[in-house]
Amino acid sequence: MSKLVGILTSGGDTPGLNSAIRAVGKTLLHADDYTLIGFLDGYRGLMENRFVELNDAFLSGIITRGGTILGSSRDKPHKMPVGGKIMDMTDVIVENYHKNHLSGLVCLGGGGTQKNSYRLAQAGLNVMTLPKTIDNDVMHTDVSFGYDTAMMIATEAVDRLHSTASSHHRIIILETMGHKVGWLALGSGLAGGADVILLPEIPYDEQVVADAILRRTREGKKFSIVVVAEGAISKSMAKVLDEENGKEKVEAMLKTRTPQLAAKLEQLTGRETRVTILGYVQRGGTPTPYDRLLSTSLGTRCAEEIKKDKWGFMMAYQDTKIVPVPLEKVAGPVKYIPKNHYLLDSARNMGVCLGDK
Ligand code: F6P
């Protein structure tokens, strides 16, 4: 009898999701004794038992498509808005899983999805996951798919801002996404040749940033490009927030302060300052070849593990190899940029201001 596997995409969408679905699906369908269904809109579709059959025709021609053909949501199994209340719907999900006679479930998502998938594994379900996120903050994988595409989009923005900043002799600040981490800002800032890069991992001092810009002015450079991660905070704010609890810290980090930073830099440097908040364009459109290859290799290897009836792992990319990592290891911790990361060294060695000294 054919084995039934379910697949879903959860959390913010990311380029590469469709090529991952395609890779898992084609590998399983190629094995003949598997049938694949896709639950719609993440864990919500699993809870409401809404799914489509993913046959070969359905999986055809989707490798170039951005977003997710299955839809996504940020709903969590144990905290789902239902009828105006937040409910723990884990039991309903477990019931649907068994009612459909699933052999297992593949969940594609970022840090939150890894945690939620682990919860479902603890509830007795066979679960495998793949790491996707433009933030690149999933632990135990060198990189998640979606990051490369987002970095390309953000780098192009930095490139384009150079010419207009130069024409008008302005400071231009580009805010990237990234949630609580700075990978996207660091990657695109360095690749785009930004003069200042501000990251959540390194609280900044506005005066240090202003001094770096004034130094450039003295050297005859009439414009400056600042790339700031949405979660970056000033040293003074970090001090206040350290006295608050963790949840408030995260919420505060995710409220944009870039317009205030611009006003402060304008005041400290006397130079006209403009802001570009890149937003959701970073998550849109077709995946880069790198993201297609990464999601394809993670997806095919995931399906190979499923064929061996191996469950309870996230497929990760480590040192050029695809490896399974137990879900309990990836559920929870966030992959921040380590203080000694080689890209931070490169930035400092070239005189890029990181806002701290
Ligand atoms: O996790 C991906 C991400 O795009 C973050 O960079 C950003 O902070 C967040 O999602 C935005 O979330 P939402 O799509 O719920 O607005």
pLDDT of residue 247: 65
Q: Final residue of a domain: which of 252, 284, 316?
A: 284
346 assigned to some structural domain: no
Q: Is the domain of 35 the same as that of 117?
A: yes
263 assigned to some structural domain: yes
pLDDT of residue 237: 85
Q: Is the domain of 316 the same as that of 279?
A: no
Q: Is the domain of 159 the same as that of 218?
A: yes
350 assigned to some structural domain: no
Measured from the CA of 12, which atom of ligand 1 is nearest? Answer: 14
pLDDT of residue 250: 67
Pairing of strands 80-82, 85-87: antiparallel
What is the 118 CA–ligand 1 centroid distance (Å)?
21
Q: Is the domain of 230 the same as that of 313?
A: no
Residues with CB under 6 A from ligand 1: 12, 74, 110, 133-135, 177-179, 230, 283
278 assigned to some structural domain: yes
pLDDT of residue 246: 65
Q: Is the domain of 16 the same as that of 52?
A: yes
Residue where the block lists tokens 């839809």: 71
Structural tokens at position 201: 């991992």
CA angle centred on 111, ends 80 and 285, rounded to 5°: 95
Q: Is the domain of 14 the same as that of 33?
A: yes
Catalytic residue numbers, as ranges: 135
CA distance 213 to 215: 5
Pairing of strands 3-9, 102-109: parallel
CA distance 230 to 233: 9
DSSP letter for 138, please.
B
Whether the pTM exceeds 0.75: the reply is yes
Measured from the CA of 110, which atom of ligand 1 is nearest? Answer: 1
Q: Is the domain of 292 the same as that of 276?
A: no
Q: Is the domain of 152 the same as that of 246?
A: yes
What is the 72 CA–ligand 1 centroid distance (Å)?
12
DSSP letter for 24, please.
H
335 assigned to some structural domain: no
User: Whose Cα sits closest to atom 12 in ligand 1?
Assistant: 12
Q: Is the domain of 256 the same as that of 307?
A: no
104 sits in which H/E element: strand 102-109
Q: How many domains are there within the chain?
A: 2
pLDDT in tens, the chain (357 residues): 789 999 999 999 999 999 999 999 999 999 879 999 999 999 999 999 999 999 999 999 999 999 999 999 999 999 999 999 999 999 999 999 999 999 999 999 999 999 999 999 999 999 999 999 999 999 999 999 999 999 999 999 999 999 999 999 999 999 999 999 999 999 999 999 999 999 999 999 999 999 999 999 999 999 999 999 999 999 988 887 776 656 666 676 667 889 999 999 999 999 999 999 999 999 999 999 999 999 999 999 999 999 999 999 999 999 999 999 999 999 999 999 999 999 999 999 999 999 998
pLDDT of residue 172: 98
Going across the sheet that includes 321-326, the strands are 51-53, 34-39, 3-9, 102-109, 127-131, 313-318, 321-326
Q: Is the domain of 157 the same as that of 271?
A: yes
Q: Is the domain of 11 the same as that of 122?
A: yes
CATH assignment of the domain containing 280 = 3.40.50.460
Contact 52, 22 (CB under 8 A): no
Q: Is the domain of 279 the same as that of 291?
A: no
355 assigned to some structural domain: no
Structural tokens at position 257: 């302060």
CA angle centred on 127, ends 70 and 120, rounded to 5°: 95
Which amino acid is it at 3? K
C-alpha closest to that of 189 among 229, 216, 220, 142: 229
349 assigned to some structural domain: no
Assign 298 to helix, strand or coil: helix
CA distance 180 to 178: 6
Measured from the CA of 134, which atom of ligand 1 is nearest? Answer: 2
Going across the sheet that includes 196-198, the strands are 196-198, 224-229, 171-176, 273-277
pLDDT of residue 312: 98
C-alpha closest to that of 337 among 184, 226, 190, 233: 184
Sign of CA dihedral 213, 215, 221, 222: positive
pLDDT of residue 255: 77
Structural tokens at position 324: 């399974």
Question: Which residues share a beta bridge with 46?
Answer: none
Cα-Cα-Cα-Cα dihedral of 169, 170, 176, 182, to 10°? Answer: 90
pLDDT of residue 241: 76
What is the 75 CA–ligand 1 centroid distance (Å)?
14
Best residue for ligand 1 mutational test, from 68, 135, 151 (most atoms within 8 Å of Cβ): 135
321 assigned to some structural domain: yes
pLDDT of residue 238: 85
Q: Which domain holds residue 244?
A: 148-284
CATH assignment of the domain containing 293 = 3.40.50.450
Largest CA-CA distance found in the chain, in angstroms, rounded? 75
What is the 252 CA–ligand 1 centroid distance (Å)?
15
